[in-house]
Amino acid sequence: MTGAGLHIVSYNIRKAIGTDRRRDPHRILSVLKDAQADIVILQEADLRLGQRPSALPRDRIGDTGLSAVEVATSAVSLGWHGNAILVRPDWPVLSVDRIILPGLEPRGAVTAVVTTPMGPLRVIGAHLGLLRRSRQGQQHALVDWMAAGDDIPTVVAGDLNEWSARRGLGPLSQVFDLHSPGHSFHARWRLAPLDRIGLSRDLSLDRIDMLDTAMTRAASDHLPIRATVRLRHAAP
């Protein structure tokens, strides 16, 4: 696995509501299974009503070849503030944290340290706010949280809600190399590169693309983005 790199997917599943306006969790599960990822970072993985129940059937997550990291604070949710992380079931999760993000609307990020074939990897999943001012504060909160933690290879991924390809993500870019495969939103009309994957400086990107199929164009209003990453000092 180290030689091939790690395959990481980020996907805003829009609570499993597709561009055809149908809510179809099993369609999302099929997309995730076909992606053959080692790690998946999800946004909008829970419904907003009541106790925020999972938008996906928890007892079918295993059909994707992955298992859910326990970031939720309720028995019915898959994530926290809608953010969830799925990993290969044979990769131990060493720790889990939740990061409160400032802003006018409630936001948070989830993070887990996962044991991978290339060593421990910190994974951060985030869905930033709609207002640029809020996004700036949320990025600073993530950077400050990183500065207080252990120095290990880190991936941050999610719907960063930044429409510009050139500005707006300055705080994160001080710590991460940010990558986008292009306009992943809207899945049918390609309006903006909202979905990004950021790598700490000790990681390198082999490739990044979008999963663009008839199913992904129907399953959510975002296309999943997929990156292959490795340690910089690892042999090619």
Ranges of residues in the chain whose predicted pLDDT is under 50: 1-2, 235-236
Query: In angstroms, rounded to a whole number, what is the distance separating the alpha carbons of residues 225 and 64?
Result: 16
CATH class, domain 6-231, is alpha beta
> Which of 174, 205, 220 shows the shortest CA–CA distance to 42?
220
Output the pLDDT for position 3. 54
User: What H or E segment, with its residue span, contains residue 41?
Assistant: strand 39-43
Query: In angstroms, rounded to a whole number, what is the distance separating the alpha carbons of residues 204 and 12?
Result: 24
Q: Where are the alpha helices (DSSP H) in the chain?
A: 25-35, 132-147, 170-173, 214-219
pLDDT, tens digit, 9 for 90 and up, residues 178-188: 999 999 999 99
Is there a contact between 229 and 155 (Cβ–Cβ < 8 Å)? yes
Query: How many Cβ atoms from other residues are within 10 Å of residue 3's Cβ?
Result: 10
Is there a contact between 85 and 60 (Cβ–Cβ < 8 Å)? no
Is there a contact between 211 and 219 (Cβ–Cβ < 8 Å)? no
Is there a contact between 43 and 58 (Cβ–Cβ < 8 Å)? no
Contacting residues for 182 by C-beta, under 8 A, at least 6 apart: 190, 193, 210
pLDDT, tens digit, 9 for 90 and up, residues 17-41: 999 999 999 999 999 999 999 999 9
Output the pLDDT for position 2. 41
3-state helix/strand/coil string of 76-88? CCCCECCEEEEEC
User: What H or E segment, with its residue span, contains residue 128?
Assistant: none
